[in-house]
Amino acid sequence: MRFRFQPPIQLSSSGHHLLPLPTPPPFLSSSPSLSTCSISHHHRLMFSTFLLLGTTTPMTLEKTAVNLLSFWNCHSSSSRCTSSFGIAFDIDGVILRGQNPIGNSPAALKRLYHDYSGNLKIPFLFLTNGGGTPESRRAFEMSQLLGVKILPSQVVQGHSCFRSLLKRFKNDFIVATGKGEPELVMSEYGFRNVISLDDYASYFDNIDPVAQYKSWKVKQESNMLPFSMKSIQDVSLDRVKAAFIVSDPVDWGRDIQVLCDILSSRGLLGGEEEHQPPLFFAADDLQYQAAFPSERLGIGAFRIALESVFNRIHDMPLECTVFGKPNPFVFRNAEAILRHIWAFSCHGNAIRPEDEDSSSHSFTTLYMIGDNPLVDIKGALQAGHPWFSILTRTGVFRQTENHAEYPADVVVDTVAEAVDFILERESAP
Ligand code: G3P
Ligand code: MG
């Protein structure tokens, strides 16, 4: 499999205040976690993106600012944060296991807010490779589960980076797959012509030869979004311009079959075999911690399965672009978002683009609290200053000693201990 990188995009556009990020990618060519794939030098273009404020598109930063301000209400100096540090929390295996809070996470998070006002004291966000739900809904769910008010802008999911591809595929016919509502996720980012793989497959009789043996129904027709209700002609004659793996696929067999169909026929089922349409993965986790006691296969395992099958039946190796941690690009993006959270919570006003106030703010330390050495800790190590990694023992990692290949700066049992450590360290003279 070869990875393809997208070209830099314009970082600010009309009506949107979009902040540039440093140009990343040398890391990707030498990234061990990506070593199963060779890099196409023709396609090794620079990664770049805009601020991934987790809002529904096309919400502008100005609207987001109002959103932030109304929540934090940080106009009085007494409720301003003075923090020169910020925190990124992994979700699965650190904050939650399945739907259950772990490691005393609700109490740990409460410590990041002012007791008396409920306003944010320490800038933090969730940096997860999971997804399948729009950021706004995920923020609401997290607020319910954890008992603190989480804003959409504080939720960065694996697929949040797909926003950076909007310009390229805004009106193109694209397919999206994964648990949850991949089609809704993509449409909220602004992609106008997206169809879920579930719906796409339903237009082709017998495309899945074992469908009759599956006891589940993948989707109710009434749930289909209006724009995905196309005629069979529309779908069968419309070339798929790109495929997006938004979250962990549910029906691996069907998805591998249909993706092989799409990718081997230049996006037009039954078409001639030519160069494949672009394929994007929201993350590449081989395993992750879900509700089951031991790790579960993740989106990266699905990539390996798809790649193995595709490469056995085609001469040209599969090409794809992978987002998510551990790419340092994700950490730089998180840093930019945390600067905005810091700016809004500390200054209580929107930052004018010309001031570049938030972008000039530099954190002395940004803490990444994660459970997966190969994803969270490796990412923080690669991102370098100001990132500081804290590894918990509540998820993928369970060992007594530090991880040998990607040692964290600190190893603790739980996220509550991690927050203890941070607050003590930061309050020390
Ligand atoms: O599907 C979720 C998984 O890939 C990892 O989630 O929160 O541990 O980055 P997280
Ligand atoms: Mg995790």
* 8 Å CB contact between 404 and 381: no
**Pocket lining: 246 vs ligand 1, CB cutoff 6 Å:** no
Q: How confident is the model at residue 272 (pLDDT cuts 50, 70, 90)?
A: low
Ligand nearest to the CA of 180: 1
Query: Is 64 a residue whose pLDDT tops 60?
Result: no
Pinpoint the alpha helices (H) of 179-298: 182-189, 197-202, 232-237, 252-264
Could you give the C-alpha distances from 292 to 26, 96, 100, 129, 315, in angstroms and in order?
A: 36, 12, 12, 18, 38
Other CB atoms within 10 A of residue 313 CB: 8
**Pocket lining: 188 vs ligand 1, CB cutoff 6 Å:** no
Query: Mean per-residue pLDDT for 393-415?
Result: 97
- Report which DSSP code applies to 381: H
Instruction: Compute, in angstroms, the gap from residue 398 CA to the centroid of ligand 2.
Output: 12
Residue 97 identity? R
Pinpoint the alpha helices (H) of 98-181: 105-110, 135-146, 166-169
**Pocket lining: 92 vs ligand 1, CB cutoff 6 Å:** yes
Query: Mean per-residue pLDDT for 8-12?
Result: 26
User: How far is the C-alpha of 338 from the C-alpha of 150, rounded, in Å?
Assistant: 14
Instruction: Compute, in angstroms, the gap from residue 152 CA to the centroid of ligand 2.
Output: 19
Mean pLDDT score across all residues of the chain:
80
Q: How confident is the model at residue 116 (pLDDT cuts 50, 70, 90)?
A: confident
Query: Is 36 a residue whose pLDDT tops 70?
Result: no
Q: How confident is the model at residue 265 (pLDDT cuts 50, 70, 90)?
A: confident
**Pocket lining: 132 vs ligand 1, CB cutoff 6 Å:** no
Query: Mean per-residue pLDDT for 358-363?
Result: 74
Q: Which residues contact 181 (CB under 8 A, 6 or more apart)?
A: 132, 133, 134, 196
Query: Is 72 a residue whose pLDDT tops 90?
Result: no
pLDDT of 119-177, one tens digit each?
A: 899 999 999 999 999 999 999 999 999 999 999 999 999 999 999 999 999 999 999 99
Place of tokens 């609207």: 63
Instruction: Tell which atom from ligand 1 comes closest to the C-alpha of 372.
Output: 8
**Residues, CB within 5 angstroms of ligand 2 (ion):** 90, 92-93, 371-372
**Pocket lining: 91 vs ligand 1, CB cutoff 6 Å:** yes
Query: Is 43 a residue whose pLDDT tops 60?
Result: no
User: How far is the C-alpha of 258 from the C-alpha of 206, rounded, in Å?
Assistant: 11
Query: Is 199 a residue whose pLDDT tops 50?
Result: yes
Instruction: Compute, in angstroms, the gap from residue 373 CA to the centroid of ligand 2.
Output: 9
**Pocket lining: 283 vs ligand 1, CB cutoff 6 Å:** yes
- At what angle are helices 252-264 and 299-313 packed, to 10 degrees? 50
pLDDT of 226-261, one tens digit each?
A: 555 666 667 777 889 999 999 999 999 999 999 999
* 8 Å CB contact between 368 and 95: no
Token pair listed for 278: 């672009």
**Which of 92, 369, 397 most suits a substitution to test ligand 1, by most atoms within 8 Å of the C-beta?**
92
Query: Is 81 a residue whose pLDDT tops 50?
Result: yes
- Report which DSSP code applies to 77: G
User: How far is the C-alpha of 24 from the C-alpha of 356, rounded, in Å?
Assistant: 21
**Pocket lining: 298 vs ligand 1, CB cutoff 6 Å:** yes
Query: Is 327 a residue whose pLDDT tops 80?
Result: yes
Cis peptide leading into residue 326 (ω within 30°): yes
**Pocket lining: 284 vs ligand 1, CB cutoff 6 Å:** no
**Which of 96, 128, 155, 250 most suits a substitution to test ligand 1, by most atoms within 8 Å of the C-beta?**
128
Give the DSSP letter string of 265-313.
TTTSTT----SPPPEEES---SEE--SSSS-EE-HHHHHHHHHHHHHHH
User: How far is the C-alpha of 122 from the C-alpha of 338, rounded, in Å?
Assistant: 10
Pairing verdict, β 387-391 and 410-411: parallel
pLDDT of residue 1: 52
pLDDT of residue 357: 56
Query: Is 188 a residue whose pLDDT tops 50?
Result: yes
